[in-house]
Amino acid sequence: MARITIYHNPRCGTSRNTLALIRNSGEEPAVIEYLKTPPDRATLMALIDAMGRPVIEAVRTKEALFQELGLDAPGVTDAQLINAMLAHPILINRPIVTTPLGTRLCRPSEQVLDLLPAPQRAAFAKEDGQPVVDAQGRRVGAN
């Protein structure tokens, strides 16, 4: 059983980079393509609760459907946001990663580094060429 799970959209560069960083640590995560296999209400609520962030942060507010459904209107409740994500999984922000160290929305992708139990095993650059990890497995630009 995988120690790490990623709620993944293979069409998303941030999600692909996050998955690659997980694999660069030597882990093979459980990959849930949430558009094909959306979480049920209990799972979605547990993920949001585990992240310890407001529900709105789990929503893709830049998705056109967000405005089309009126979810940007004043007074929209967390329950309405959750119902919208369940009805339209494209509204779930990604990637969400769970590990023994916690659960987090990994935007930007290097956020996942704080969740990985094992260090990076090699240098890593994002798809756009931006370096994230050096040859010694250290985060580039980290203080």
- Where in the sequence numbering do the catalytic residues fall? 12
Count of residues for the chain? 143
- E strand or H helix at 102: strand 102-105
Pairing of strands 5-8, 96-99: antiparallel
Amino acid at 123: A
Q: Which amino acid is at 129?
A: G
Residue type, 127: E
Per the CB < 8 A criterion, the answer to whether 101 and 118 are in contact is no
